[in-house]
Structure 1
Amino acid sequence: MQAGEPTKKKERPLRRDARRNRDSIIAAAAEAFAKEGVNAPLESVAKAAGVAIGTLYGHFPTRRDLVEVIATEKIAAWLEAAQRAADADDPWRGFTDYLEVICKLQADDRALSDIASTDTPLAECIESRLARIRELGRIIMVRAQEEGTLRADVSPDDMAIVIWAHRGIVAATRDAAPEAWRRHLALMLEGFRSERAHPLPVPSLNALHGAAGSAEQRADAQTICKVFGSK
C-alpha cells in the first residue's frame, strides 16, 4: 500500500447503477485480497467486478481507500474475538481460543495479516480498533499467566511470532493440506502450558533486539510484535 493523506469523498447518494458497481468492486476486492493479499492487481479486481479500471478508481481513487473499506469488517470481527476471549470465564480457554480464531482468520484471508502488519497509517477508526486489539491481546495473555496455566516467561512478541510463523505454514500447505495449521498450533499451545515449562535458551525478540539491536532489527521486531500487543 502507498502512504498518503486520506482521500476526501463527497457525501452524496449514489445512483443505483453506481451503487451496484461499488458493491461489485468491494466484493471482488475482498475475494482478491483474501487470496493474494492487499497488493492484488486492481486491474484484476475491476475485471472480476465487471467494471472498467477507471470506474474502480472513480469510486476508490487510491488502493488505500479500497483497503480501508475491506479492512473495516475484518478488523471488527477480530476485535469481537479479542473481547470475547478477554471476557472468558476460563482464561486459558480464552487464550487458546483467541489464538485459534486469529490463525483461522489468517488462514482464510491473507489481507488480514497485511492490514495488521502494515506501517501505512489507516483510517482512524481502523487504527483505534487495532490499538484496542493489541491492548486486549495483552490482557488475554496476562489473565492466563495470572491463573497459572500459561508459562510466566511467555511475552507478547512470542505470541506474535506464532502468528508470523503461521503465515508461512498456511502459504506452504494451503493447497495440499489447508487444515495442517491446526496441528501445528495445537503443538505450539502444548508448549505454552506452565506445567510443561523449562528454561528457554534465549530471551524474547524485543529483549534481543531492544536497546542493543540495530535500527533495522528493532524495526523488524516491532513490525512482528505489534500484532499481539508488544511495544
Structure 2
Amino acid sequence: MNTEVSQVPTGLRVDAQANRDRILAVAHELFAERGLDVPMAAVARRAGVGVATLYRRFPTRESLVSEVFAEQFGRCASVVQDAVEDPDPWRGFCTVIGEVCAMQAADRGFSAAFLAMLPPELDAEEERERAFAGFAKLTDRAKAAGRLRADFVPEDVILVLMANNGITAEAADVAEAASRRLAAYLIDSFRAERASELPPPAGLSLRDLD
C-alpha cells in the first residue's frame, strides 16, 4: 500500500514537468513567430494546457519570458565574463559584439527578450545586468590599452543591439550573414586609431529597451 501511494505523486510530478517543458517549447516558438506580446491564452492553447495551468507555472508573462530564454541570458553573461578574462581587452571587446549580435540574429525571440524590460527580481534581468556591468569593465580596459575609441560609452552597446535587432526580421540565413557584416562594420568604427568626433551619447540605459 505504501508503495502505491508513493507512486502517485511521482506520476503527477512527471506530468507537471512534461506540461512545463511543453509550455516553454511552445512559448519559445510563439515568441519567435509573433513577438513577446503573444497572448498567454495562445501559449496555453498551443501547448494543450489550460490557462490556469499556465499561470500556475508562470504567474506573469515576464516570468515566462525569463524562463524561456534563461539559457541564452546565461550564455550572454558567460561570453562577457570570458571576454573580461581575456588578456587582450580589444579581442575580448570584439568577441562580445560579434557573439551577442550573432545570438540576436539566430533567435528572433531572444532578440526581443534581450531588448525587453524585465522586472529586476527575475534571474534573467540579473544576468543581463551582470553582463552589462562586465562589459563596462571591458570597455575601460580596451580604452586603457589604446584600442577602443575614447568616446565610446558602455551604453553604446544598446545602439548596436537596436541596429542589429532590425536585421532579425529577415530569413535566418540572410539575418546571420547580415548580422556578421554589421558587427564587423561597427567594430571597425570603434577603433581608436581612426576615431573622429561623435555627437554626445544618447543617454540610453537598459531600462530604455522596453
2:6 aligns with none
1:177 aligns with 174
What is the aligned counterpart of 1:79 among 69, 77, 80? 77
The CA deviation at 1:180 is 1.2
The CA deviation at 1:113 is 3.9
Give unpaired runs (5+ residues) of structure 1: 1-11, 207-220
Asked if 1 retains the 8 angstrom alpha-carbon contact of 2:118 and 2:125, the reply is no
Q: Residues 29-178 of structure 1: matches in 2 within 5 Å?
A: 29-171=27-169, 173-174=170-171, 177-178=174-175
1:199 aligns with 197
More helix as a share of residues: 2
In 2 relative to 1, CA 16–175 (structure 1 residues): closer, same or farther, beyond 3 Å? closer
Give unpaired runs (5+ residues) of structure 2: 1-8
Equivalent residue letter for 1:27: A
Asked if 2 retains the 8 angstrom alpha-carbon contact of 1:78 and 1:133, the reply is yes
The CA deviation at 1:63 is 1.9
Residues 29-86 of structure 1 show CA distances to partners (whole Å, capped at 9, x for unaligned) of 1232234332223333234323343432343233233223224322211111110111
The CA deviation at 1:125 is 3.3
Q: What secondary structure is seen at the aligned counterpart in 1 of 2:24?
A: helix
Equivalent residue letter for 1:222: S
Asked if 2 retains the 8 angstrom alpha-carbon contact of 1:157 and 1:224, the reply is no
- Name whichever of 176-185 and 19-28 sits farther off: 176-185
- Name whichever of 84-93 and 41-50 sits farther off: 41-50
Distance 2:114 2:183 in 1: 20
Asked if 1 retains the 8 angstrom alpha-carbon contact of 2:149 and 2:193, the reply is yes
The CA deviation at 1:138 is 0.4
The CA deviation at 1:135 is 0.9
TM-score normalised according to structure 2 size: 0.81
Equivalent residue letter for 1:44: A
TM-score normalised according to structure 1 size: 0.75
Residues 177-208 of structure 1 show CA distances to partners (whole Å, capped at 9, x for unaligned) of 222121121111111111221222x21112xx
CA RMSD in angstroms comes to 2.6
The CA deviation at 1:124 is 4.5
2:205 aligns with 222
The CA deviation at 1:145 is 1.1
Equivalent residue letter for 2:66: E
1:5 aligns with none
Distance 1:84 1:67 in 2: 25
Distance 1:124 1:64 in 2: 8
Distance 2:80 2:33 in 1: 24
Larger Rg: 2
Distance 2:157 2:122 in 1: 25
Asked if 2 retains the 8 angstrom alpha-carbon contact of 1:82 and 1:137, the reply is yes
Asked if 1 retains the 8 angstrom alpha-carbon contact of 2:167 and 2:179, the reply is yes
Distance 2:54 2:206 in 1: 31
Asked if 1 retains the 8 angstrom alpha-carbon contact of 2:149 and 2:195, the reply is yes
In 2 relative to 1, CA 38–119 (structure 1 residues): closer, same or farther, beyond 3 Å? same
